[in-house]
């Protein structure tokens, strides 16, 4: 006649404290006479620990119908605490800037994942000269041994200022004027550090290079230049001998 089987685990801290008993049982239909290795799946018991450390553990299998008991040798169980870490939230950065992703807290292992097959290990991940295609979600997995913290993610947005500059007339006669204009996704336009406008009219007396500073809503900037050439009129004469009509 089949009997019920029970397995329990007894554990004590390595520090020498009084052993603490962790009891757990699950009813199985296997015969009591069957070896433990054959009934281990049916008799699996979970142990709970409230603090990290090294524990000594042994397993006991008892047949309730005959009280026959089998006990394993004592083995060592290392209990690690999951790391407690955090990372900064979503952020918007300027294109071509260097972005540093930093972990707050401590762990034994770090693994970063991001767009375009980005990977990094260590508590700090660096993205030098970031571009628009690198924008997206970056995730972190941190662990102490096989104990993992909950996955963390952060969103990186890249503000790339796009601008195009042109002139209505690249070559002017002295005293002439032309219009310089800019198009793009900037919020503010500053010409030669003084004129705040997307388009300006200039009347240079000599050939001049004009500089435009485009500023986005996130205060990201991009600088472009354009040259207007002033053509100076010139004339020359040489000595000559002329004949009058006959």
- Mean predicted confidence (pLDDT) in 180-207: 93
Question: Residue 45 belongs to what H/E stretch?
Answer: none
Q: Are 152 and 85 in contact (CB under 8 A)?
A: yes
pLDDT for 37 beyond 80? no
| pLDDT digits 0-9 by tens, 103-114 | 999 999 999 999
Q: Are 111 and 141 in contact (CB under 8 A)?
A: yes
| pLDDT digits 0-9 by tens, 158-179 | 999 999 999 999 999 989 999 9
Q: Quick one: pLDDT at residue 61?
A: 76
Query: How far is the first Cα of the chain from the last one, in angstroms, to the nearest whole number?
Result: 152
Task: Quickly state the pLDDT bin for 17 (edges 50, 70, 90).
Answer: very low
Task: Quickly state the pLDDT bin for 212 (edges 50, 70, 90).
Answer: very high
Q: Quick one: pLDDT at residue 183?
A: 95
| pLDDT digits 0-9 by tens, 130-142 | 999 999 999 999 9
Sign of CA dihedral 48, 50, 51, 52: positive
Running DSSP on this structure, what letter comes out for residue 38? H
* Count of CB atoms situated within 10 Å of the CB of 158: 21
* Count of CB atoms situated within 10 Å of the CB of 172: 20
Q: Quick one: pLDDT at residue 15?
A: 41
């Amino acid at each position: 006649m089949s009997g019920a089987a029970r397995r329990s685990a007894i554990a004590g801290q390595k520090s020498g404290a009084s052993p603490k008993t962790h009891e757990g049982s699950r009813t199985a239909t296997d015969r009591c006479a069957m070896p433990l290795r054959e009934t281990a799946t049916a008799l699996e018991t979970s142990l709970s620990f409230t603090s990290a450390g090294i524990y000594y553990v042994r397993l006991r299998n008892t047949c309730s119908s005959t009280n026959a008991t089998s006990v394993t040798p004592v083995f060592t169980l290392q209990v690690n605490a999951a790391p407690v870490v955090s990372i900064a939230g979503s952020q918007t950065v300027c294109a071509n800037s260097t972005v540093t992703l930093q972990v707050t807290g401590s762990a034994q292992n770090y693994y970063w994942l991001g767009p375009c097959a980005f990977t990094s290990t260590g508590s700090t991940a660096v993205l030098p000269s970031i571009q628009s295609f690198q924008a997206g979600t970056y995730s972190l997995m941190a662990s102490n041994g096989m104990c993992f913290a909950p996955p963390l993610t952060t969103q990186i947005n890249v503000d790339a200022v796009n601008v195009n500059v042109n002139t209505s007339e690249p070559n002017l006669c002295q005293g002439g004027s032309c219009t310089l204009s800019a198009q793009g996704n900037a919020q503010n336009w500053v010409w030669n550090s003084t004129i705040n406008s997307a388009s300006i009219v200039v009347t240079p007396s000599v050939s001049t290079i004009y500089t435009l500073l485009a500023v986005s809503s996130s205060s990201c900037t991009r600088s472009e230049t354009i040259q207007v050439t002033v053509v100076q009129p010139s004339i020359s004469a040489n000595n000559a001998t002329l004949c009058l009509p006959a």
